[in-house]
Chains A and B, each alone.
Chain A
Amino acid sequence: MSDETLNLTLRVWRQDNSDSEGEFRDYKLSGVSTHMSFLEMLDVLNEQLIEAGEMPVAFDHDCREGICGMCSLMINGQAHGPDNATTTCQLHMRRFQDGDTIVIEPWRAAAFPVLRDLVVDRSAFDRIIQSGGYVSTNTGNAPDGNAIPIPGKVQEVAMDAAACIGCGACVAACKNASAMLFVSAKVSQLAVLPQGHAERTGRVLNMVAQMDEEGFGHCTNTSECEAACPAEISVSNIARLNREYVRATLVNRD
């Protein structure tokens, strides 16, 4: 491991609240260890800002181990930065060069309004799940877990889709700000598992309708979402969503 340090220029989006105009501001940061995570680098910037009497940069983060989906950030125009299959909190400064200028922006999508600086409102995702991203099973006497055998291969497909962390990178990366990858991941997981079959038709119709209502754009099969996804959700889920949707429009009797 190298023990270098970096001197960086950070060009950060600053915005006081949803109603105010935002702007980029440049900050110099020196002596950044290459072992730091990207968010630790922002922590250091914030300590420096507070000491200088300037409001620290607001950004969302929580688990810092790549699973909660709370961190975001467009880094040099890429959702979660340059590494594949990596959230911002798992991106490390060894990925950058001394003297770099790093541009840091919030997720860009009309359906994710900016609350402050780099913090956006992603509650649209919750409302999409509310519209059908579940199995209607009340807590109680569910049948034995082994009552319905689910072949290992089917379970693997479901698990691949279920791994979505709901961060919104797919939306931020998409030129249309489409949420198709997010929606398709949940639709796929529940469509391939027998537990999800009973509500298969209504689920896909309702979730797509809610997605549209939230103001997400359409999918034009660019696959930028898949490239940006830290959980490696495949666009084949979008293909399955489209099949599920067509099927549902044909069989729906409501």
Chain B
Amino acid sequence: MVRVASEILNGRVPEGPVDQIWDKHRFNMKLVNPANKRKFSVIVVGTGLAGGAAAASMAELGYHVKSFCYQDSPRRAHSIAAQGGINAAKNYPNDGDSIWRLFYDTVKGGDYRAREANVYRLAQISNNIIDQCVSQGVPFAREYGGTLANRSFGGAQVSRTFYCRGQTGQQLLLGAYQALMRQVGLGKVEMFARREMLDLITIDGVARGIVVRNLSTGKLEAHTADAVVLCTGGYGNVYYLSTNAKGCNVTAAWRCHKKGAYFANPCYTQIHPTCIPVSGDYQSKLTLMSESLRNDGRVWVPKNADDSRRPSDIPEEDRDYYLERRYPSFGNLVPRDVASRAAKERCDAGFGVNDSGLAVYLDFRDAINRDGEDTIRKKYGNLFHMYHKITAEDPYQVPMKIFPAVHYTMGGLWVDYQLMSNVPGLFVCGEANFSDHGANRLGASALMQGLSDGYFVIPYTIGDHLARTKFEHIPEDHPECLAAIQNAQSRIDQLMSVQGRRTVDSFHRELGLIMWDHCGMARNKTGLETAISQIRDLREEFWKDVRVLGEGESLNQSLEKAGRVADFLEFGEIMCVDALNREESCGGHFREEHQTEDGEAKRNDEDYSYVAAWEFDGVGEEPTLHKEPLTFPNVPPTTRSYK
């Protein structure tokens, strides 16, 4: 039985009508006098959309900011790979959009497992983000007359997505990066690239600094400040194969969890429906094909399971456009969780294509006939090019083959309405927190949330925290700093001293398979219990048999990977514990025991309309569950239907 804390977890959402909460709250928050801002320092970990935007915006306000990233440059954070676009409720196309509709769609799309007030704030801020990015010179697509262009995206019936070809994330990130570089140039931000956070420094329970490893030299460093903002992304790489960058990891968030921060809804992972299928056991990552392709591409499989004809030879009557068949009103634009499960259903039933049987077609034939190849090239040229490079097949000629893959994680460190975790002084923004997407994220809303948190939320809420707290200067040789360094050092020494036989990657692949098989697109009780015991065994074997060569005090990529995998081996277990506890199907979390007769997800609002925030009680120990109840006075829960 899960140990449940008796006290209700409070998200500290201010009272009032949902459309007025943020405006009122901005007035009620304490301010830091402009002349005093320079006396405060803030650490920002991660330089993606959330981290880059947060560091730049806080520095503009006058705070002294220290910014950290593990890559060689802050411009490389994985937000850069987002392709399709960013939502905003501008209603430029005059098609019936509004802040309320974006709010409604996002709450519904999240399967009623997000916090209403956070989502409303996100929808409100969405419009400011577009304006801010345009002013930075982000080259959004435009109509001939010069106005901003929009396209539609999964889970919505209006066109509210702004885009820069198929590389929207890149352009938004470079906008934030350039704002950050400007502040570095002005001396307001100290930039630390090639640094990986290994621990959180707390003093009397308040977050006051971090320990990082300098990845170029291997040396450990302590950095202190008045607050710490974690913007370290998601944990999709627990599956080994995902669309995440190779370096993405859970370490920073996990170390904060071990220092007391609750981890919320870790079982909510997003499996993206349109990725390039796996080609062999050497595969190192999966590549996404933007969801925007479903605007013009039609998804199908052959009607006959043993149809071995080439796709172009299969006539219309022998094709099963299963999304259009099952969901006539949304068709190919159903949300991601629905599209992924539908693909899995067809493949499990034996209709999958490709040698593996684990793929479906995404076909542009009709769109090319209708709009011409040039139009399609203009919209998706870079994606078609990438597909061609990877598979050696030309999608202008033959349909793409796609299959779902791990893409995004809605779970993350628990935060209140101010984006502060339960550890005072530790704020969490972007994918690293849990707050805005519930159990499923709609397309083009990750970029929106990252920039919303970074540009327009944290600059306000951090001030409130700084103005309310008394800070003593913490020198970098404070006993707590030295203890945290010692702690990180001993873990490195331990990893180096095993000198076993197996490589780090071999453990990571094995963990990934356990997670994919038992805690992936579909989960059940027996599978999750099996996974937990397999993870424990694998973790034990890791610490007995992993081989890390070289020295700790040098550039050592095996050691970097070993530390991350060691944390994934602890973290994977809590994902399964959370998935086991949640006896319902919602969003990306599909429990096979809880489905309707036609295979749709069956939510249980009576018992599970809460955020599951887990408190660390030791490695391999059952964590304690803290519940934050969710209420939906503005968007009453209904069965999510896209039929």
Measuring CB to CB, which residues of chain A are less than 8 angstroms from any residue of chain B?
1, 16-17, 33, 35-37, 39-40, 43-44, 47, 50-51, 53-56, 58, 60-70, 83, 85-86, 90, 92, 94, 115-116, 119, 121-123, 125-126, 129-131, 133-146, 148-153, 155, 158-159, 162-163, 165-166, 189-190, 193, 195-196
Contact = CB atoms under 8 A, between A and B. Distances in A.
A-B complex: 3 closest residue pairs judged by Cβ atoms: A149-B146, A134-B178, A130-B185
16 contacts: A1-B393, A40-B282, A47-B505, A63-B246, A67-B170, A92-B389, A115-B555, A121-B72, A125-B73, A137-B135, A139-B56, A145-B90, A146-B92, A153-B144, A155-B140, A166-B75
A58 B560 CA distance: 11
Nearest to A66: B386
A143 B78 contact: no
Nearest to B131: A142
Given A55-B550, A126-B74, A150-B146, A135 B135 contact: yes
B21 interface: no
A207 to B, nearest CB: 11
Given A150-B142, A195-B135, 19 more contacts: A1-B391, A36-B282, A47-B506, A50-B547, A62-B245, A63-B80, A67-B167, A67-B169, A68-B80, A69-B76, A92-B389, A126-B74, A129-B181, A133-B181, A142-B134, A145-B133, A146-B147, A189-B139, A195-B134
B179 interface: yes
A136 to B, nearest CB: 6
Interface stretch (B10-18, B263-271, B283-291, B325-333): B283-291
A193 B137 contact: yes
B502 to A, nearest CB: 9
- What class of interface size applies to chain B in its complex with A? 35 or more
Given A47-B503, A155-B142, A138 B137 contact: no
B182 A162 contact: no
Residue of A63, A70, A116, A131 with highest tally of chain B CB at under 10 A: A63
Given A33-B282, A40-B282, A163-B167, A139 B459 contact: yes
Contact of B72 (A60, A135, A152): A60
B78 A62 contact: yes
Contacts of A56: 549, 557-558
B459 A35 contact: no
B384 interface: no
B57 interface: yes
A130 B184 contact: yes
Interface string B393-412: 10000000000000000000
Given A145-B131, A151-B144, A162-B174, A119 B78 contact: no
A196 B144 CA distance: 20
Contact of A134 (B136, B171, B455, B501): B136
Nearest to A117: B555
A159 B459 CA distance: 30
B145 interface: yes
B390 A135 contact: no
B389 A90 contact: yes
B81 A67 contact: yes
A181 B128 CA distance: 33
A90 B146 contact: no
Interface in B451-479: 455-456, 459
B191 interface: yes
A221 to B, nearest CB: 27
B392 A149 contact: no
B624 interface: no
B165 A115 contact: no
B392 A1 contact: yes
A119 B554 CA distance: 13
Contact of A70 (B72, B132, B145, B165): B72
Given A17-B554, A134-B178, A135-B178, A51 B135 contact: no
A251 B550 CA distance: 56
Contacts of A131: 185
A149 B547 contact: no
A35 B280 contact: yes
Contacts of A53: 549
Contact of B137 (A115, A145, A158, A163): A158
Contact of A64 (B131, B246, B503): B246
Most chain B CB neighbours (cut-off 10 Å) among A16, A70, A83, A139:
A139
A22 to B, nearest CB: 14
Contacts of B80: 63, 67-68
B494 interface: no
Nearest to A93: B282
Contact of A17 (B57, B184, B456, B555): B555
Contact of B246 (A33, A62, A145): A62
A166 B74 CA distance: 11
B371 interface: no
Given A58-B555, A123-B73, A139 B245 contact: no
B147 A50 contact: no
A148 B146 CA distance: 8
A65 B81 contact: yes
Contacts of A63: 76, 78, 80-81, 245-246
Contacts of B140: 145, 155
B31 interface: no
A104 B459 CA distance: 46
Interface in B194-231: 216
B385 A85 contact: yes
B177 interface: yes
A47 B459 CA distance: 45
A43 B247 CA distance: 14
Contacts of B459: 139
Nearest to A2: B392
A50 B56 CA distance: 41
Given A92-B392, A162-B174, A69 B75 contact: yes
Interface in B506-536: 506
B389 A39 contact: no
A211 to B, nearest CB: 15
Nearest to A69: B76
B605 to A, nearest CB: 38
B276 to A, nearest CB: 10
Interface in B42-80: 53, 56-57, 60, 71-76, 78, 80
Contact of A50 (B134, B145, B148, B549): B549
Contacts of B391: 1
B245 A68 contact: yes
B164 interface: yes
Contacts of B390: 37, 90, 92
Given A33-B282, A151-B144, A158 B74 contact: no
